[in-house]
């Protein structure tokens, strides 16, 4: 067995049993950019692959190794630098309407596609070196991680993409193909490789028609390492509302910081609500004293928190929006940039929430929309219907079986 494994590492393709025997041992490499919201959708699928006996490895950059390890997955480095400064710069420009009023949504997305392409360029050499020694049978990448499918094509093995969000985002792909034209040409590729399988955890009734041919897998929320406090296991004595703006916005100043939150919290407290705020602990520690209506502010296991909440107030990030849908919790969405608007629109069209555009957001209007969502049972009925649809989709274990069929 050891000899066969070592031969495989050196590049032999002698293992022919995998496609014929779907219970065979397959090596699966997962790749992700160094952002929690991009890793988290991959985690349940990677767990399922390990539970079925497959050999799993996650590749990411040095600064993100600990986050992957906390998810209980084997992880290795494909480079020392994440390149996230490019992405954060693009996000900051998209948010700065005063300095960049003419920046269209298409331009914003093209800028994000360029940023992800530059991240891929920094990772590609390390990833190709890794796949030359730890030779996978299939590579699974989240949709923004572009080095994985390129390395898979260079190696001659199939790739799969885990889709996220409700937007097709063609600008990402066109920008990345232009930015990486040299690297693609060196490998004899004319364009970014197409995945052999597109996996999508968004339910068919909510996502766009562009995704009709995607393979649907059940959204099993993973939101990072967090403890479940005892109070969260009991029903609240008044409506509980979860407020979160994700992992990026709170780090970009006024768009998600205390100066935005404090007036809003005062208004929400006036509605007689219990408020929990999901935010990284180090950010919460910098805030001044919060109103008494705030039960907790810090890192929370979102899937557990939302199952006890009457309402989710969030930024329309793909992970938070989908976790809220899976919990059957109505949403008030406050999108700020890029695909957040598409995710918010998809939730609104489903009947499970309301959306406010950036220019509409004031503490008074947010509180008014919250009251509407809490009073009208139609939103909760729609949200619960979508949660039932999500629960009926194939589990990550079934999706792993589908992955096995890619291996020839």
What digits encode the pLDDT tens for the residues 282-317? 777 777 788 788 888 788 889 999 999 999 999 999
| Contact by Cβ (8 Å): 148, 141 | yes
Of 10 and 322, more confident: 322
Cβ-proximal residues to 96 (8 Å cutoff; 6+ apart), any chain: none
> CA-CA distance, 34 to 152, in Å (whole number)?
20
289 phi/psi in degrees, rounded to 5: -60, 135
Which domains does the chain carry?
Answer: 2-218+393-404 (3.40.50.2000), 230-391 (3.40.50.2000)
Task: Please report how the helices 340-350 and 318-327 are oriented relative to each other, as an axis angle in degrees rounded to 10.
Answer: 20
| Contact by Cβ (8 Å): 61, 80 | yes
Q: How far apart are the first and last CA of the chain?
A: 20
3-class SS at 164? coil
Specify the pLDDT at position 18. Answer: 43
| Contact by Cβ (8 Å): 48, 21 | no
Strands (E), 159-222: 159-162, 197-200, 215-216
- Neighbour tally for 252: CB within 10 Å: 18
Instruction: Provide the Cα torsion 230, 324, 358, 279; round to 10°.
Output: 30
Residue position matching structure tokens 């950059």: 61
Mean pLDDT of the chain: 87
Specify the pLDDT at position 292. Answer: 84
Specify the pLDDT at position 234. Answer: 82
Specify the pLDDT at position 245. Answer: 80
| Contact by Cβ (8 Å): 343, 167 | yes
pLDDT-derived band at 250, boundaries 50, 70, 90: low
pLDDT-derived band at 81, boundaries 50, 70, 90: confident
Q: What is the length of the chain?
A: 408
């Amino acid at each position: 067995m050891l000899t066969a494994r070592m031969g495989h590492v050196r590049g032999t393709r002698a293992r022919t049993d995998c496609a014929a025997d779907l219970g065979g041992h397959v090596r699966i490499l997962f790749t992700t950019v160094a952002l929690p919201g991009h890793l988290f959708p991959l985690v349940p699928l990677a767990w399922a692959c390990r539970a079925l006996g497959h050999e799993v490895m996650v590749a990411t950059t040095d600064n993100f190794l600990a986050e992957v390890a906390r998810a209980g997955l084997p992880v290795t480095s494909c480079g020392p630098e994440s390149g996230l400064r490019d992405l954060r710069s693009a996000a900051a420009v998209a948010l700065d309407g005063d300095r960049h009023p003419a920046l269209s949504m298409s331009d914003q997305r093209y800028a994000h596609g360029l940023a992800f392409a530059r991240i891929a360029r920094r990772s590609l050499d390390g990833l190709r070196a890794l796949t030359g020694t730890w030779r996978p049978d299939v590579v699974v990448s989240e949709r923004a991680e572009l080095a994985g499918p390129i390395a898979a094509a260079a190696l001659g093995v199939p790739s799969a993409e885990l889709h996220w969000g409700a937007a097709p985002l063609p600008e990402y792909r066109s920008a990345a193909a232009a930015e990486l034209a040299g690297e693609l040409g060196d490998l004899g590729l004319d364009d970014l490789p197409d995945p052999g399988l597109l996996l999508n955890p968004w339910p068919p009734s909510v996502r766009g028609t562009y995704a009709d041919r995607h393979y649907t897998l059940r959204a099993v929320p993973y939101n990072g390492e967090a403890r479940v406090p005892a109070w969260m296991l009991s029903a609240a004595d008044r409506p509980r509302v979860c407020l979160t703006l994700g992992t990026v916005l709170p780090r970009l100043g006024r768009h998600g910081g205390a100066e935005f939150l404090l007036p809003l919290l005062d208004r929400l407290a006036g509605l007689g609500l219990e408020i929990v705020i999901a935010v990284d602990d180090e950010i919460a520690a910098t805030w001044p004293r919060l109103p008494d209506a705030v039960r907790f502010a810090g890192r929370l296991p979102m899937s557990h928190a939302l199952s006890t909440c009457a309402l989710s107030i969030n930024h329309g990030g793909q992970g938070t929006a989908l976790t809220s849908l899976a919990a059957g919790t109505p949403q008030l969405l406050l999108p700020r940039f890029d695909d957040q608007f598409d995710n918010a629109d998809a939730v609104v069209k489903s009947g499970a929430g309301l959306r406010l555009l950036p220019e509409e957001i004031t503490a008074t209007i947010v509180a008014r929309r919250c009251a509407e969502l809490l009073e009208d049972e139609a939103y909760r009925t729609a949200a619960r219907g979508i949660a039932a649809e999500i629960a009926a989709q194939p589990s990550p274990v079934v999706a792993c079986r589908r992955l096995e069929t890619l291996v020839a």
